[in-house]
Amino acid sequence: MLLHDSLKIGSVEGLLRAAEIDHLTARIAEELGDGNRYSVAGRTRSVHSVAGEGLERVKEVYEPRGRVEYDELPADVTGMLDAAVARRMGDLRRTFPSARRSMDWLYVEYGPGQYVTPHVDYPHNEIAPGRPKVAAIGIVLHEAESGGEFYVETGGGDALWTEEGGIKENANVHSPWFAGMRRTRWRVTCAAGDALCWGTQLVHGTEPVSAGRNGKFIGFLGS
């Protein structure tokens, strides 16, 4: 069941209510300030990793034009996000029946020219190995004026897969086998307050922002 769930994509429109969007927007503005501490240049860590590589290479691989990445969200923000997900868990579980809870929230923001390269998140849960991550969830706080679309990529054949049926390790553009393979890109757009969910074995990323800023919360749905 988990493997099946981790290859799905779904959405929940209006997961955040208007008052929640306003409150979270104000709180993020308070927490980020001018955002420099959390920009790619100022960050001293990343939620991503590349086997055998240091932080600077990790940032080059995943967000070569930079982004704001804030993983120190205060408890009132994560509590509101958890409550919103719990309120719509029945809707989420129609697509991801293995999902039970939300966790590991962070906030990301992309300005003009910024994007994240295609990659896979993987189900492994470092904190609780017996409770894998079923899917990631992205909740839009504000849209860019243009660009910044989220996408998933699919590919036929054996290139992505192990003999056991899971995604190969190191599925990111740092790996020559991944960077060189053909994939089909499926783009989507959302409104503020909407949630997109993608399985932890799906290749995904975002297109470059053309104008404005794209801000969203990202977390995981755990089993």
CATH classification at residue 33: 2.60.120.620
Res 43: pLDDT = 87
How many domains, the chain?
1
**Gap between the Cα atoms of 99 and 119, Å rounded:** 22
Q: Is the pTM of this model over 0.75?
A: yes
Look up the domain containing 121 and give its range.
Answer: 2-222
Nearest to 142 by CA among 32, 28, 12, 10: 28
Q: Average pLDDT, stretch 211-218?
A: 97
Tell me the per-residue pLDDT of 93-133, one tens digit each, with 9 for 90 and over: 999 999 999 999 999 999 999 999 999 999 988 877 878 99
Q: Are strands 101-110 and 214-222 parallel, antiparallel or unpaired?
A: antiparallel
- Cβ neighbours of residue 102 closer than 8 Å, sequence gap 6 or more: 81, 82, 85, 86, 137, 219, 220, 221, 222
Share of the chain above pLDDT 90, in %: 84
Nearest to 183 by CA among 113, 135, 96, 120: 120
Cross-strand partners of 142: 215
Work out the burial of residue 91: count CB atoms within 10 Å of its CB; fewer than 13 is exposed, 13-18 middle, 19 or more buried: middle
- For all residues of the chain together, what is the average pLDDT? 94
> Is residue 96 within 8 Å of 32, Cβ to Cβ?
no
Give the least confident one: 13-17, 30-34, 55-59, 62-66. 30-34
**Gap between the Cα atoms of 26 and 36, Å rounded:** 18
